[in-house]
Amino acid sequence: MEPLVVDAGEADIEDLLDALEDGRRVVVRTEFLGSAHEVTLRYDGTWYCDTPTRLHRHDSREEMRGCLERQGYATGSG
């Protein structure tokens, strides 16, 4: 299955979380310090947010939702 590719802040949080639970990887294109980066999100029972500098792990959908909101990767309050 092809990953879902989105620009940071343009996708709805619930849509991304649903896609992850359905087995899709999500690639978020973002900019940090003037450079373009890709963040890969995935789910296999644990939620992962793989950034260029760190792999974040989250134990629940709620934790992942908070990460997506804080980092500006998605919109909506869930």
pLDDT digits (tens, 9 = 90+) for 17-55: 999 999 999 999 998 878 899 999 999 999 999 988 899
Task: Say if CB 75 and CB 13 are below 8 A apart.
Answer: yes
In angstroms, the Cα distances linking 50 to 28, 73 are 10, 12
Average pLDDT estimate for 41-70 = 95
**Which pLDDT does position 32 carry in this prediction?**
80
Tokens 């963040």 sit at which residue?
39
Q: 3-state class of 32 per DSSP?
A: strand
Give percent above pLDDT 70 in the chain: 97
Query: Alpha-carbon distance 43 to 21, whole Å?
Result: 6
**Which pLDDT does position 52 carry in this prediction?**
86
Record the pTM: 0.89
Q: Please choose, from the candidates 48, 3, 10, the residue with its C-alpha nearest in 3D space to the C-alpha of residue 26.
A: 3
Domain boundaries, the chain: 4-71
